[in-house]
Structure 1
Amino acid sequence: MPTGFKVNNRSNQIIFCSITNKTRPSANAGEFEIKPDEHKEFPRDGWEDVSIRNKHNTERTALWINRGEPALIHFDGFDKPLTIYNDYQPEPGFTINNLSPRTIMCFISSSTRIGGNSSWAAIPPGHAMTRPRNGWEAVAVKSQDDKQRKGEFIDNKGKLIKVDFLGFDEDFVVHEAPENFIAAEHYAEAIRIADRSYAAGDSSASLPGGLNASIFKCDTLEFLTTGKKGPSLGDHNQIYTLGLLINHLKYGLAEPGLVVSVTPDWVKVAAYTCEFDAIVVLGFPIKAIDLVAPEKKRPAVGSRMLVVSQFTYRGNNPNTQGVQRDITEGPKSLDKWYNFHPLVAQFVSDDSHAPLWKQRMDEIDEELWKDVWELWVDWKARHGEDYFRLGCPTKIQQMATTHVDSSLPGYTAAVAEQ
């Protein structure tokens, strides 16, 4: 079949499946009955909402899923996540992105694609053109009045690659094809989800994190902190979770953190926010830090960290009134939030972001770093050194507890402070 989806009903009940037709408007977006052990194919060309319900419309599951050739979607019951298999690889070629402010004319030779379209084509600003090719080709660009030209021989190595045109006085920017095309699309779509979520909001941080999430670091931190082998953020059914995490790191408030303790079991970071004028302490098992810390080097006490936080509104929820009990508000607290959720950037974003970590930390007032240490001294006097929140993404908003050591299941069975 052409690109799209194949939904297999592996349950023992009749289901009704519908898939939006955003990427193929001529396709039928209505519901289709799928009996047990049967399947239905849906031609589509990109990301779509896949929705499945039972006969009486009392149970429903849905997910935003990328097309494949086809993408296989297995339904095993409403109490189980959808299982998705997708190893789609696009046809080799060149995608020329016009990132300049003017319309250009583009030509790609067709020595590796006999009979391929090699005519000049107009590409407006912000648009792209794709031509299927399979190796070395001449890529040429000219102005519409033919007064400016530039070109280059480029090898796509049998993959679909992107070539950015920035202007006639700048070199082409050639992007290597990702090792896993679908994984790259998964991550790019998660970024778009994060951006759409931010655009739909009504607030912005004074100093946003500007970062993206490392799937490897986040997966590793979760497993070695909780001891639970959950689904990877790279899994198809984790697209929204990854999007939320990227939204947190990209648009959350960037503030100071300090490594305040390093023991054989734990690295502890005091995470500050001006919204409460307070800290909470995050704990990270040494075995996790040895894999996720920058360059896999354990930080020393006093090392500066970048913390990116989001916040819980008090709202009308009776469970989120006042302030979460492990937060002691300072005199400059804005007194409008119930809780904050701090991520330590160096432990959850890729090391390639190191220049941005430094840039953000350089914008923090020098006196504030000293204040964070004083707040840690006060925290330790009030709670003891072993009272902290777990630092993996799924645990950062939970109440701090007293942790004795990091041997499983020791810290998963920690006793909350009364």
Structure 2
Amino acid sequence: MKTLDSSTQASSPGSLSLSNEKLKELRPELYGLKGKWLEYREKKSAGYSQIEQIREHIFYGDSQPAVVLSVDPLIIVAYSEDLDCVVPLYFSNIYVKKYRLKEKTRLITVNTYMRGPKLQEDIILGPNNSGVWFGFHPIIAEFVSDDLDVIEMRKLKIDEKMWEYVYKLGGEYSSKYPNAYRDGRPIYSQNPATIRWF
């Protein structure tokens, strides 16, 4: 691994390959001439590109349940077992039809985690958090990978009560922080939620 912390290992790694077609739809600026220039700058400054980071993220990161909380606007809550919490992710409504989404549709998030002295301000820690991490970066698997068989197999391993728990946490979060969502696009989704007005 070149971009991720290799001192830890996910208990349930995503093991997914990246679909450039899907990522391009989410992040078109990472491709074409603009993308080439951006990649050059990123490799010069950080040693790797955003695309390389996303590719490693969904392969080595921790796969967890995610649930559609609403479709208008499209809000998906991504769960972290390590933090025992959800964060809401906002996406364009074009994905509702594209992926046939409805409220409570089950998806998979692949998470990487952050250390630090301060908890991300949009996180509501659950009672079963590990106490190790201060934040996480979720990526919705279905939106960046064509490995649907792998994704479906992961879903089958998640207990029914866990799916219900994630949806419940999403509702509680929405009640406490209405209109507070993260930009769901990869890389941006590591940033804490901001208030949006629709």
In which range does the TM-score fall when normalised by the shorter chain?
A: 0.7 to 0.9
2:64 to 245, 255, 274: 255
SS of 1:364's partner is: coil
Partner SS for 1:359: helix
Q: Which has the higher helix share?
A: 2
Whole-Å Cα distance in 1 between the matches of residues 92 and 52 of structure 2? 25
SS at match of 1:219: helix
1:179-219 Cα distance to aligned partner (Å, 9 max, x none): xxxxxxxxxxxxxxxx4556x81211000000122222222
**Contact 2:76/2:89 (8 A) holds in 1:** yes
Q: 1:19-39 deviations in whole A, cap 9, x for unaligned?
A: xxxxxxxxxxxxxxxxxxxxx
Q: CA shift at 1:237, angstroms?
A: 5.9
Aligned to 2:106: 304
Alignment of 1:4-43 (within 5 A): none
Q: Is the 8 A contact 1:222 1:394 kept in 2?
A: no
Matched, 1:280 2:76: no
**Please, which runs of 5 or more residues in structure 2 have no aligned partner?**
40-47
What is the rounded CA distance, in whole Å, between the counterparts of 1:403 and 1:196 in structure 2? 35
Over aligned residues, Cα RMSD in angstroms?
2.1
Higher RCO (C-alpha 8 Å, min separation 6): 2
Counterpart CA distance in 2 for 1:236 and 1:387 is 33
The correspondence of residues 186-335 of structure 1 with structure 2, limited to 5 A, is: 195=1, 201-223=6-28, 230-232=29-31, 235=36, 238=39, 240-263=49-72, 266-287=73-94, 289=95, 296-314=98-116, 321-335=117-131
Distance 1:210 1:348 in 2: 13
What is the CA–CA distance in structure 2 between the aligned matches of 1:392 and 1:196, rounded to whole Å? 22
User: Structure 2: which amino acid aligns with 1:404?
Assistant: W
TM-score (norm 1): 0.43
TM-score by length of 2: 0.87
Task: Report whether the alignment pairs 1:338 with 2:129.
Answer: no
| 2:162 match | 368
Q: What displacement does 1:382 show?
A: 0.4
* CA distance, structure 1, for counterparts of residue 99 and residue 8 of structure 2: 36
**Structure 1: which amino acid aligns with 2:89?**
L
Which has the larger Rg?
1
Does the Cα contact within 8 Å between 1:284 and 1:392 map onto a contact in 2? yes
Gaps of 5+ in 1: 1-194, 224-229, 315-320, 406-418
Q: After superposition, what is the alpha-carbon deviation per residue over 1:319-347, rounded to whole angstroms, capped at 9, x for unaligned?
A: xx231110000000111212100000011
* In structure 1, distance between residues paired with 2:139 and 2:130: 20
Question: Which AA in structure 1 matches 2:120?
Answer: Q
Task: Return structure 1 stretches of 4+ with deviation > 3 angstroms.
Answer: 195-198, 233-237
What is aligned with 1:183? none
Measured after TM superposition, the shift of residue 397 of structure 1 is: 1.1
Structure 2 distance, partners of 1:205, 1:355, is: 20
Report the alpha carbon displacement of residue 399 of structure 1 after superposing the two structures with TM. 1.6
Q: Where is the strand percentage greater, Structure 1 or Structure 2?
A: 1
- The alignment partner of 2:110 has SS state of strand
Identity within the alignment, %: 28
Q: How many residues align?
A: 188
Distance across 1 between alignment mates of 2:17 and 2:68 = 22
Please give the secondary structure, in 2, of the residue aligned with 1:326. Answer: coil
Deviations for 1:239-279, whole angstroms, at most 9, x for unmatched residues? 6322211110000000000001011xx31111000111000
**Residue correspondence of structure 1 range 24-103 to structure 2 within 5 A:** none
Q: Does the 8 Å CA contact 2:90/2:181 hold for their aligned counterparts?
A: yes
| Alpha-carbon distance between aligned partners in 2 of 1:202 and 1:297, rounded to the nearest angstrom | 35
Match of 2:195 among 387, 398, 402: 402
Deviation at residue 235 of structure 1 after TM alignment: 3.7
State the Cα distance separating 1:390 from its structure 2 match.
Answer: 0.8
Amino acid at match of 1:394: I
